[in-house]
Structure 1
Amino acid sequence: MLRIAYFISILFFLLSCTSQSTVSINNGYVDFPEVWELKAKTIQLDTALFRYPFRVHAWDNKAVVLDLHGTDHYFHAFSYPEFHYLSSFGKRGDAPEEMLSAENFRWGEKCLWTLDANKSELTELGFALSGDTLLRQEVVKLDKDILRALDFIIYEDSTFIIPDYTGDNRFCQVSSEGKLLRKFGAIPSANEEALANSRPALAQAWRSFIDYNPRKGVLVAATQLGEVLEIYNLKDSTHVVCIGPHGEPEFQVAEGYGIPTGIMGFGDVQVTDNAIYAVFQGKSFKDIMESAKQENKLPDGGQSIYVFSLRGEPLRKYVLDHYVHGIFVDEQRGAIIAMDVNMDEPIVEYSFHPVE
């Protein structure tokens, strides 16, 4: 009986390994079959709030904006789609219920989660009965084995996925209590020297913005440097690597850190039920440094939104009349909400026809 139990356990182990294996597909692209120009409508706010509005996510009839350099609060809640101001939360400070930093936030079914990298914690908030104020409900301290979490998504309503910056893997799966459950994925770099000798620096250079669609099981990572989009289908274990004309992130290693030398790449990414939308910049660090020296600073953000299928096929390129960072794509309304930090009225809206 013991021998039978032993072989059964080995069989289950092999099956579990097989089910978690990833099939990688390389999908290089040069251009997009369609190019559309979009003109924005500025959303007028009834109050001045922002210093550097970086991210926007909407859910049901609420929208929240992350102000990366907020003076008093990191987050501001609005009605959606009207954008009438409701309240501010995520008070800046080092007290127990305050935040030292804010990297991103995600909507759950009936709550909102925020990430503070400096405190290494995720915080769950829920709306008060009045519907206009968010209150702290739970704080999750992240495992010490997780190296500085800079983004996250909610996975299967009970765990989180966080990028891995050790360079050993691509992602960490974390329990609802903040414990590291497993790591998966690998940096798809052709830089063999960095893979062998400078994995932490490589991971820094490959820092990516991520998003996840639970209905499709699609997790996407878009590199902040270079032009690489990775698509992980967590239902069928396929992994598509889309490499654009600017190639993978370029960097030099200095005292263990990855110093960027190529271009600023993607600025934000969102996965809908039909497509992947990614803000792209494409400005070289050489041009950025030269413009700073000449006191003729280049606009902050990207002027293009790239649209891919959920399998990584390039579908469409939107050319914008603003330079933007964060976006929220509302396919039902045919609207893209975008953050332009260069403007006094930073929230703009684009009307568009979603891909089918």
Structure 2
Amino acid sequence: MHRIVYFISVLFFFLSCTFQSTVSTNNRYTDFPQVQELKAKTIQLDTALFRYPFRIHASDNKAVVLDLHGTDHYFHAFNYPEFHYLSSFGKRGDSPEEMLSAENFRWSGRDLWTLDANKSELTELGLALSGDTLLRQEVVKLDKEILRALDFVIYEDSTFIIPDYTGDNRFCQVNSEGKLLRKFGTILSANKEALENSRPALAQAWRSFIDYNPRKGVLVAATQLGEVLEIYNLKDSTHVVCIGPHGEPEFQIAEGYGIPTGIMGFGDVQVTDNAIYAVFQGKTFKDIMESAKQGNKLPDGGQSIYVFSLKGEPLRKYVLDRYVHGIWVDELQGIITAMDVNEDEPIVRYNIP
């Protein structure tokens, strides 16, 4: 990573972005103007790899899948869109070059960044000359002020944005060496008691999956509980909060921790050049617990994909014939690739109407 690019981007950041001056508007929605049912096509793999395929990101002719509970490796690379297996990497273990955990990963051109929350580090990997595997290039240890990073995006090619779980702010801005530059955003909760007395528990309840589109300058956070989607335009400093029928995350505080009591909300989010796509679950914790008591396990994942404009306007809802977690939306080819952990052949594909 070039230091010149880093200093230019940091200078640009401080001169042009004033997160504190964002204009916040609320956009409450109750339904979508269009509802369409989609039928999956299963991708037949030539090898058995996965235990819990959770995330997928593609770049050019490569796709990588994160196996959250991988036995030997966390990541598996395929050619795209055919999905012929290429290699596995991110070996599980506690040695310096192995990973204790894997939360998410992001492409940056031909390079790939991975996040290990247990080691509190980001690792950059580059494609080998053969083009079929990725090799470690750089390790970034995160600042001790950052409380357990569970997701990240790459901003301006040389800095990172990471959710803030102290409850004081919404995000942390981190430089290429892992040093905390600043924090921005606030949790827009109506729970005044939690805001005043239990911010870490509130931050846990408001844990969000995030994505960023550098071409549009749009950062999106989708809450894992409840139904809140936040849109930060980092180019014009606007902030839109989309609140659905289930409202903000519901929880109780027990021994300093936030215990969820409402619903499982969003499961993944992606910002394309034209729209925001978010997997939505909607299962109540009451139903989940009652089914478990009866020996019945509810399907894992969400059966809906919500589509919003980049300004937060609800556009359409896709109703799926599968329950999925991670998605990759390829608008150019008109397909959505999704991860169905409930099936032995977990990679499925939907055509976008």
Aligned alpha-carbon RMSD (Å): 1.2
What is the distance in 2 between the residues matched to 1:146 and 1:267? 23
Encode CA deviations 1:17-49: one digit per residue, 9 max, x unaligned. Answer: 967511000000000000000000000000000
Q: Secondary structure at the match of 1:319?
A: strand
Aligned pairs (5 A) from 1:189-268: 189-268=189-268
Partner residue in 1 for 2:106: 106
Q: Secondary structure at the match of 1:306?
A: strand
Aligned mates of 2:142, 2:336 — CA distance in 1: 33
Provide closer, same or farther for how the CA distance between residues 51 and 173 of structure 1 changes in structure 2, counting only shifts above 3 A.
Answer: same
| 1:235–1:16 CA distance, 2 compared to 1 (3 A) | closer
Residues 288-303 of structure 1: matches in 2 within 5 Å?
288-303=288-303
Question: Which amino acid in 2 is paired with 1:273?
Answer: D
Match of 1:40 in 2: 40
Q: Secondary structure at the match of 2:296?
A: coil
- Provide the C-alpha distance between the structure 1 equivalents of 2:215 and 2:221, rounded to a whole number of angstroms: 17
Match of 1:12 in 2: none
Is 1:172 aligned to residue 183 of structure 2? no
Between the aligned partners of 1:239 and 1:18, the Cα distance in structure 2 is: 12
Shift of 1:110: 2.1
Q: What is the aligned-residue identity percentage? A: 89
Per the alignment, residue 74 of structure 2 pairs with: 74
Work out the CA distance in 2 between the residues paired with 1:309 and 1:299.
29
1:305 alignment counterpart:
305
Cα deviation code 1:112-148 (max 9, x no counterpart): 0000000000000001000001100000000000000
Residue in structure 1 matched with residue 9 of structure 2 by the alignment: none
1:10 is aligned to none
Q: How many angstroms apart in 1 are the aligned matches of 2:329 and 2:17?
A: 36
Give me the whole-angstrom Cα distance separating, in 2, the residues matched to 1:147 and 1:19. 21
Secondary structure in structure 2 of the residue aligned to 1:320: strand
- 2:338 pairs with 1:331: no
Q: One-letter code of the match for 1:310?
A: L
Q: Which amino acid aligns with 1:278?
A: A
Q: TM-score, normalised by structure 2?
A: 0.95
Hey, which bits of structure 1, 4+ residues long, moved more than 4 A? Answer: 15-20
Gaps in structure 2 of 5+ consecutive residues: 1-14
- What's the CA shift string for 1:286-343, capped at 9, x where partnerless? 0000111111110000000000000000000000000000000000000000000000
- For 1:192, give the aligned amino acid: K
Q: Report the Cα distance in structure 1 between the residues aligned to 2:110 and 2:336, rounded to whole angstroms.
A: 23
Cα drift, residue 109 of structure 1: 1.3
SS in 1 for 2:289: helix
Letter in 2 for 1:206: W
Cα distance in structure 2, aligned partners of 1:59 and 1:17: 28
Give the counterpart letter for 1:250 in structure 2: E
Aligned residue for 1:94, secondary structure, equals: coil
Query: Is this contact kept in 1: 2:100–2:116, CA < 8 A?
Result: yes
1:287–1:19: structure 2 CA closer, same or farther, 3 Å change rule?
Answer: closer
- Structure 1 residues 275-294: aligned runs within 5 Å: 275-294=275-294
CA deviations on 1:64-94 (whole Å, 9 max, x unpaired) are 0000000000000000000000000000000
Which amino acid is 1:58 matched to?
A: A
Query: Equivalents in 1 of 2:209, 2:298: separation in Å?
Result: 22
Aligned equivalents of 1:292, 1:90: Cα separation in 2: 33
Q: Given the superposition, is the C-alpha separation of residues 82 and 191 from structure 1 closer, same or farther in structure 2, using an over 3 Å criterion?
A: same
* Closer, same or farther: CA 17–216 of 1 in aligned 2, 3 Å: closer
TM-score (norm 1): 0.94
Residue identity opposite 2:261 in structure 1: T
Distance 1:218 1:55 in 2: 20
Cα deviation, 1:136-189, whole Å, max 9, x if unaligned, reads 000000000000000000000010000000000000000000000000000011
Matched, 1:161 2:161: yes
